[in-house]
Chains A and B, each alone.
Chain A
């Protein structure tokens, strides 16, 4: 029987697509190549961080079924990296309260995604708590912003200089 409450994969897929469409509709100043660079870097950072925390340090644990892992992949490699694009774009194009409000929004969104993953049983925080997760949120958002700035300085030195 059809059970709409057991369609996690579809929900996560649509949520990821929703975040991508929101970013495109937002018409950010960060050009496509810089957006792609930040996406790739952050997707790699999230991936390596997950492996380190789950398999090497054992700070987190995760549900080791194929169905659950595919959901984790969607969150880790698509949804979260797209979230960072908002922060990176705001960091590059704005100053003042607009910049900081988008950065804070991205931090909160990442925290909520982690919290939802824990609630859904996809991951379990074993040796870390919410404060550690908050530090990871800050580290990832900062990495995304610096990656965008670094890429722009390297590829468009005149534009970056003003």
Chain B
């Protein structure tokens, strides 16, 4: 097991906790735009992708990065997945609020990918992510691009299949 930080509670934990509280605060406080069903799925989808990628490319045989203080799965890693959730919701909330035509969707994804990369870079600087085995921070852009295209696919899918009795 690789230990990156013996120091207990420090910058990476504050980063994760801060963004988790901020994210869920926004989900709670923003005026409602979606059905309960859509909101739940939008939050869950972000967390799902976090779990999927972290447990696919951050474990052996690939083992491209570690999350938080050690390579072992800790409670703070779990909170990190929870932290991913609201980003998906806010991404779709702003998209819906702006009412952008579909031709602007790729540009919207571009802006959010840049924002996500910047945020991951900050997280890596504070010790949330530790890259290894040839993985570069540079490659994460493809993950965000894929995730956000899927998120918009889900958004349009939910709009098309909106059920009248859904609350």
A contacts, CB < 8 Å to B: 31-34, 36-37, 40-41, 43-44, 47-48, 50-52, 55-56, 64-66, 69, 73, 77, 151, 154-159
Do most interface residues of chain A lie in helix, strand or loop, or is the interface mixed?
helix
A residues in contact with B157, CB < 8 Å: 32
A33-B38, A55-B72, A155-B35 as given contacts; A43 in contact with B48, CB under 8 Å: yes
A43-B52, A151-B40 as given contacts; A33 in contact with B166, CB under 8 Å: yes
B residues in contact with A55, CB < 8 Å: 59-60, 72-73
- A-B pairs with beta carbons under 8 A, tally: 76
The answer for the CA separation of A151 and B157 in the assembled complex, in Å, is: 18
Closest beta carbon of chain B to A47's beta carbon, Å: 5
Closest beta carbon of chain A to B17's beta carbon, Å: 20
B residues in contact with A155, CB < 8 Å: 35-37, 40, 166-167
The answer for the CA separation of A64 and B38 in the assembled complex, in Å, is: 38
In the complex, are the beta carbons of A69 and B41 less than 8 A apart? no
Give me 13 A-to-B residue pairs in the complex whose CB atoms sit less than 8 angstroms apart, sorted by A's number: A31-B161, A32-B161, A33-B37, A33-B158, A37-B44, A40-B44, A40-B48, A50-B55, A51-B55, A64-B60, A77-B56, A154-B40, A155-B36
* Contact among A40, A47, A52, A154 for B45, CB-based, below 8 A: A40
The answer for the CA separation of A154 and B43 in the assembled complex, in Å, is: 15
Indicate whether B62 reaches chain A with its CB closer than 8 angstroms.
yes
A residues in contact with B45, CB < 8 Å: 40
* Contact among A36, A41, A48, A64 for B55, CB-based, below 8 A: A48
* Contact among B38, B62, B167 for A156, CB-based, below 8 A: B167
Which one of B44, B72, B81 has the highest number of Cβ atoms from chain A below 10 Å of its Cβ? B44
The answer for the CA separation of A158 and B166 in the assembled complex, in Å, is: 10
The answer for the CA separation of A41 and B41 in the assembled complex, in Å, is: 10
In the complex, are the beta carbons of A77 and B52 less than 8 A apart? yes
B residues in contact with A65, CB < 8 Å: 61
The answer for the CA separation of A69 and B166 in the assembled complex, in Å, is: 39
A33-B158, A33-B161, A40-B45 as given contacts; A56 in contact with B61, CB under 8 Å: no
